[in-house]
Amino acid sequence: MSRQIVAFGGGAEPMRLGEALEEWILRLTGRESPRICFLPTASGDSDANIVRFYQHFRHPRCQPSHLPLFRREGEDLRARLLHQDIIYVGGGNTANMLAIWRLHGVDAILREAWEAGILLCGGSAGSLCWYECGVTDSFGLQLAPLHDGLGLLPGSHCPHYDAEALRRPSYGRYVGEGVLPAGVAVDNAVALRYEGKDLVEVVTAKAGAQAYRVERTATGVHEAPLPARQLR
């Protein structure tokens, strides 16, 4: 299988992408009932987010499970994650999540899973983590640069582009000033699908929601919408 990552801006509420995006992600595996494992690390393994995940990803359309890191029970993390068809990363604090993953070796396992053709996906923190860098609220109320993403995808990233008032101006400023390299911003209800490191498709489950290429120019910062396919 090809190496695939799906990064989406987020949903209307935690863990709620909308049925169209959820079904689209499951179909990408080509399996009738794919195994999908939820990593709730960014929310501190929030019980509420775990419950929501199971509410939205139920049998028989998939085989859901979750993998906590704050309450480990000696499970072989590598064996568990490499047995999946999809690894779904939830939202929350990106910086804390990356630190915990590195402490437990999950960062290396996720790279191995990607290279093995397991679909990696997520929204918010679960979207930003795959890139080299981006803009985050991990360090407080003010949005700040994050420079130590997993680097599976090139450049910078900004989720929630249309949903939080400070996202667009903050990301534009950091890219325009050269603090962050060029990258992609994504509205809620929009997903970016990568094969390898190449962006091959943008889909949206909400009319008018978009993704954007954002880059520095001689006169400041330039934002260009990317063509998107509406899911039905």
Give, in degrees to the nearest 5, the angle at Cα 169 between 172 and 173.
40
Output the CA–CA distances (angstroms, integers) from residue 156 to 134, 175, 180, in the order listed: 5, 9, 6
Angle (CA) 143 114 216, round 5°: 40
Residue 176 parent element (H or E): helix 167-176
192: Cα separation from own chain's centroid: 9
d(CA 141, CA 154): 26
Residues with catalytic function: 124, 160
